[in-house]
Amino acid sequence: MNYPSKLIENAVNEISRLPGIGKKSALRLALHLLKRDAGQTKSLADSLVALREQTCYCVRCHNIADSELCGICSNKRRDASIICVVTDTRDVLAIENTAQFNGLYHVLGGVISPMEGIGPGELNIDSLLARVADADEPVVEVILALSATMEGDTTAFYLQKKLKESNLKVSTIARGIPVGGDLEFTDEVTLGRSIVGRLVYQ
């Protein structure tokens, strides 16, 4: 496409490098900014640069933090005996929104994926093992809350093996039919897992 100016072309190219935004959407966003107050564009740009350059990570759980320890790790009311292992910060937010978990987290920063060249060495696994081995941290249980994909399962399997030597309870979040889900339309694998992992009432 022939853009009317170099500035538009540059902006469209930069915006369309973001995931899920194509050239057409990028052009729409660029033209939107041109119609709005210059201050809005400036504060958007500043917030992005500040985010990228000043964000720090919790030294204990690797979640995004404002200071050395994140808000969850520094909260004395959280149960330090349970660690929930997740892929990234978004998963922490998702689990926090359920209000069903009061323990601490450990953010791996990804999952093992040979296809994308991500091995255990690229993930925050050593620091997890150090946490559970640390006598100061009274860890009793590690919950693996990873996606139910091939990569997630591989990572869970790897962690389970690594954690075997410790005397910890290791669990994984339940696989089953989603709440509100129709039994008839649930795929066989999920349905099979929901039977194997059934909850016993009495």
Binding site for a copy of itself (CB under 8 A): 1-8, 10-11, 13-15, 17-20, 25, 27-34, 38, 40-55, 63-66, 70-72, 88-90, 92-93, 96-97
C-alpha closest to that of 147 among 191, 85, 83: 85
Least Å distance, CB 109 to a copy of itself, is 9
Least Å distance, CB 108 to a copy of itself, is 13
Q: Which is nearer to a copy of itself, 55 or 102 (CB)?
A: 55
C-alpha closest to that of 82 among 102, 99, 97, 109: 102
Least Å distance, CB 112 to a copy of itself, is 17
What number of CA atoms fall less than 13 Å from residue 16's CA on the CB side?
A: 14
Calpha distance 106→144 (Å, rounded): 10
Residues in the chain: 202
Least Å distance, CB 26 to a copy of itself, is 11
